[in-house]
Structure 1
Amino acid sequence: MIELVGISKSFTGKKGSIHALKNVSISVKKGEIYGVIGYSGAGKSTLIRCVNLLEKPDSGSVIVNNVDLTKLSPGKLRVARGKIGMIFQGFNLLKTATVYENIALPLKLTGLSKQEVEEKVTRYLKIVGLENKHHSYPSELSGGQKQRVAIARALAHEPEILLSDEATSALDPDTTEAILELLLKINRELGITILLITHEMNVIQKICDRVAVMENGEVIEEGKTKDIFTSPKHATTKRFVNSLFSHNLPDEILSTLKETGHVVSLSFFGKASGEPALALVSKKFDVYPNILSGSITQLKDESFGQLLIHLKGDFTEIQKAVSFLKQQQVLVEGVDIDEGKNQRVS
């Protein structure tokens, strides 16, 4: 559906050239929700604007539906952009126009009849849950309602792809949750492929099938959301995951615990998150598990839990217990089972 191949983009400023993107390549499959996450200055905003050529890359290919947009004439590019909707953090609504007019005006410019415009506006306002706000003005709406209008405006052109440029960053947590649920609904019911950028890991966790992590204009890690959560490789990726699961312990407490056993992190996915694996450990082995911290969260399609525990006992018994946990499809980290060396969990 979307193939970005070797995308590079630089900007010239007072201090010289700024390399916003450096040979970036990602592939987004039809019908999936793909997230790009990174801190400020990572290059993610520039990347998403290259998809519809709001920013033209210095080099590389932007392939959408097997067509390289960088090679299209201006006329054909306008047609191709018609299948790519976009929503922004700032909503970009006309303040002096009603909700109806904000959605209808772009449609009228495409040459649709009054009846066709009315049918589309009515349909998509209903989809976003604002069927009673036709005559309201943006100043009369909440932030979440404004974003719903922006989403309806993008959907009214019936795109195959929806680009989301930090669409929830200006919203409170409850409203963010509602907008994410709406994006999930749009993806599932309308089959629209969604590419979004964010700096919030909870957005990735909630709705994304796959994710790319960016830093300094490069993709430093990419994969299924599940895999990124269970085994992040890069330090920046670990920081994002730990923003949801913080299990840091003070050094003095960790040192004390290590004197009588091992501190390990357990990760549970899907059915494993609901199994009493830890309870069985204390019954099967001469090991006493003590839960130090833990949480369970919901990814797009399955639950994911993490526990930080202290396993008190002889190392041989701990070794058996850890092997048992792994057999129960529990990911165990923080202790070297082969050599008996402790490793700090962070």
Structure 2
Amino acid sequence: MILLKNLSKTYHSKNGKIDALQDVSLEVKKGEVFGVIGYSGAGKSTLIRCVNLLETPDQGEVLINDTNLMKLSQTKLRQERQNIGMIFQGFNLLKTATVYDNIAIPLKLSGIPKNEVDERVKKYLAVVGLEDKQQAYPEQLSGGQKQRVAIARALSHEPEILLSDEATSALDPETTEAILDLLLKINQEFGITILLITHEMHVIQKICDQVAVMENGQIVEQGNVIDLYSNPKHPTTKKFIDSMFTNTIPAPVINDLSAKGPIVKLSFVGHSTGKPALANVVKKFNVYTNILAGNIVQLKNEPYGRMIVHIEGEEEETKKAIASLKDEGVQVEEVSINEL
């Protein structure tokens, strides 16, 4: 569906050059929700704007359904762009046009017949839940409503691909949840492939199937969301995932950990989050467990939990307890007091 091969992009200014993309490659399969996450300056905005050639890479290939956009004429490129919808952080609505006209005008400019324009506007306003706002102006709408209009406008061209450029970062948490639910609904009901960029791990957690982590113009790690949550490799990935969990333990608690036994980080994936694994090892072995921190988050398709636990007991018994936890599908990593 979307295949980016070895993209590089450098910006030049009087202060020097900025390597926004450095040999970046990724593949988004049909029907996926693919997230790209990174901190400010990582290169993710440049990357997503290269997909529809709003930014032209210095090197590399951009293929959509096996068509290399880099080799198309401007006329052919405009035609291909009709298949790629895009929503922005800033909404990009015409302030002097009604909600209806904000969606209708681009359709008319594309040569869509008048009766079909009317059908599409009403259809996609219904999809985003704004049927009653057709004659409202952007200044009369909330931020979430403006973003819904922008989404309806993108959908009205009936694309196969939807690009989301930090679409929720200007919204409050409750509105963000509603917009993410809407994007998930669009993906599931219309089969539209979504590529989004974000700096918020919650967005990845909520709706994404696959994720790529960017830093300094490069993809430093990528894979399916559950794998990156349960086994992150790169320090930046670990930092993003750690932000979803409260691992800070008060110093007095740490100072009281004088009893024998290891401190372990437990990761629970899917069905293992519902098992009483800690209770079972206490019953089976001569150990005590002291939960120092923990949380469970819901990923798109399954829950993921993490705990920091002190397993108190003699070495042989704690080893047996850890082996038992692993047998239950729990990932176990021993940590030192200095890491807490």
CA contact (8 A) 1:164 1:197 kept: yes
In the TM superposition, what is the alpha-carbon distance from 1:150 to its structure 2 partner? 0.1
User: What does 1:235-246 align with in structure 2 at a 5 Å threshold?
Assistant: 235-246=235-246
Within-5 A mapping of 1:19-38: 19-38=19-38
In the TM superposition, 1:51-70 aligns within 5 A as 51-70=51-70
Matched ranges for 1:74-223 at <5 A: 74-223=74-223
Q: CA deviation at 1:254?
A: 3.4
Letter in 2 for 1:78: R
C-alpha distance after superposition, 1:252-280 (max 9, x if no partner)? 64354264221111111111111111110
1:286 is matched by which residue type in structure 2?
N
The residue that corresponds to 1:338 in the other structure is none
Q: Which residue of 2 aligns with 1:309?
A: 309
**3-state secondary structure, aligned to 1:257:** coil
Q: Which residue of 1 aligns with 2:17?
A: 17
Deviations 1:88-141 (A, max 9, x none): 000000011110000000001111222100100000000011111111111111
Superposition RMSD in Å: 1.3
Residue 230 (structure 2) pairs with residue 230 (structure 1): yes
Residue 171 of structure 2 aligns to a residue in which SS?
Answer: coil
What secondary structure does 1:171 align onto?
coil
Distance 2:298 2:309 in 1: 21
Q: CA–CA distance in 2 between the matches of 1:258 and 1:118?
A: 72
Paired residue type of 1:25: S
Runs of 4+ in structure 1 deviating by more than 6 angstroms, as ranges, are none
Identity of aligned residues (%): 62
Q: Is the 8 A contact 2:201 2:241 kept in 1?
A: yes
TM-score (norm 2): 0.97
The 2-side partners of 1:117 and 1:132 are apart by: 18
| Deviation digits for residues 11-34 of structure 1 (CA, Å, limit 9, x no counterpart) | 011111111000000110110000
Contact persistence 1:248–1:345 (CA under 8 A): no
CA distance in 1, matches of 2:185, 2:40: 29
> 3-state DSSP class of the match of 2:87?
strand
The total of aligned residue pairs comes to 340
- Mapped to 1, the partners of 2:197 and 2:334 lie a distance apart of 32
Question: After alignment, is 246-255 or 98-107 more displaced?
Answer: 246-255
Amino acid at match of 2:221: E
Letter in 1 for 2:163: L
Structure 1 residues not aligned, in runs of 5+: 336-341
CA contact (8 A) 1:265 1:345 kept: no
